[in-house]
């Protein structure tokens, strides 16, 4: 027992300092794209970006480099499209929704045709490093016990009905979060005939990435809930 306590003291606190302090990332981390737009080029779509090395450098939209900024969750699809790649970050829900979910948010995950990468990062949000439970956010097993759903994957034809049923089984008012390039724009599978017709579910939060970093998801959720410290709300890229 004494040995165990010594070990814990040596290990210290592994939980990320976010949101109180800026988290650090390894050099190879590819965060929010920053674009020097080419004349007349269409806006850069961060929602469709796969954050692959080959998407950096000279592109049709201009010269793209990946910053170390992990913040890029947005409230609307359009907010993810800008000439410079900079995203209009998500705003908070209205007061009534924040009163309902601000201190306790239960989410049901719907894996709607994914490679598994996004779910691995969502799982990591419950570990001791990211520890989303410290903000009262948890995944639950049933939509009946959930305040909202988190969609990962492209929504293929086989999962369309399951997604619709899960959405309808979640009591209102509910929130819907699209996580990853697949859920937002089809990701690497864009254009596949297996992708289902859109369900037309209203989305409250779009979290780009392939897959998104756990802190990108957490930052988006805390923005939505109005839970970020004032000096973090408008942090610039």
The residue with tokens 């001791």 is 128
Question: In whole angstroms, what is the distance from residue 64 CA to residue 62 CA?
Answer: 6
211 contributes a contact to ligand SF4 by CB under 6 A:
yes
Residue nearest to ligand SF4 (CB): 117
46 contributes a contact to ligand SF4 by CB under 6 A:
no
Smallest distance, ligand SF4 to C-beta of residue 212, A: 8
84: how many CB neighbours lie within 10 A of its CB? 15
Question: In whole angstroms, what is the distance from residue 181 CA to residue 207 CA?
Answer: 8
Going residue by residue from 144 to 183, which x/- string records binding to ligand SF4, judged by CB under 6 A?
Answer: --------xx--------------------------xxx-
Residue 221 or residue 225: which is nearer to ligand SF4 going by CB? 221
Dmax (CA) for the chain in angstroms is: 67
Size of the site for ligand SF4 (CB under 6 A): 13
- Non-local (6+) Cβ contacts of 39 within 8 A are none
- Non-local (6+) Cβ contacts of 79 within 8 A are 87, 88, 89, 90, 206
Going residue by residue from 85 to 114, which x/- string records binding to ligand SF4, judged by CB under 6 A?
Answer: -----------------------------x
118 contributes a contact to ligand SF4 by CB under 6 A:
yes
Residues that bind ligand SF4 (CB under 6 A): 114-115, 117-118, 152-153, 180-182, 187-188, 210-211
């Amino acid at each position: 027992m004494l040995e165990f306590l010594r070990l814990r003291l040596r290990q210290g606190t592994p939980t990320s300092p976010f949101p109180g302090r800026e988290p650090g990332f390894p050099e190879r981390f590819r965060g929010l794209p920053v674009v020097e737009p080419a004349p007349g080029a269409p806006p850069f779509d961060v929602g469709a970006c796969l954050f692959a090395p080959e998407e950096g450098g000279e592109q049709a939209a201009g010269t793209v480099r990946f910053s170390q900024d992990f913040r890029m969750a947005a409230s609307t699809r359009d907010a993810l499209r800008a000439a410079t790649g900079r995203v209009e970050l998500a705003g908070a829900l209205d007061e009534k929704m924040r009163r309902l979910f601000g201190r306790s948010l239960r989410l049901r995950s719907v894996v709607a045709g994914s490679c598994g990468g996004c779910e691995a990062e969502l799982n990591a949000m419950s570990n001791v490093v990211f520890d989303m439970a410290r903000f009262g956010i948890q995944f639950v097993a049933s939509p009946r016990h959930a305040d909202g759903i988190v969609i990962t994957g492209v929504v293929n034809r086989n999962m369309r009905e399951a997604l619709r049923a899960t959405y309808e089984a979640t009591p209102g008012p509910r929130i819907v979060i699209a996580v990853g390039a697949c859920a937002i724009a089809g990701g690497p599978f864009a254009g596949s005939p297996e992708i289902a017709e859109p369900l037309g579910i209203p989305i409250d939060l779009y979290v780009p990435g392939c897959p998104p970093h756990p802190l990108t998801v957490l930052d988006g959720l805390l923005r939505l809930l109005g839970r970020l410290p004032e000096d973090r709300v408008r942090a610039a890229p």
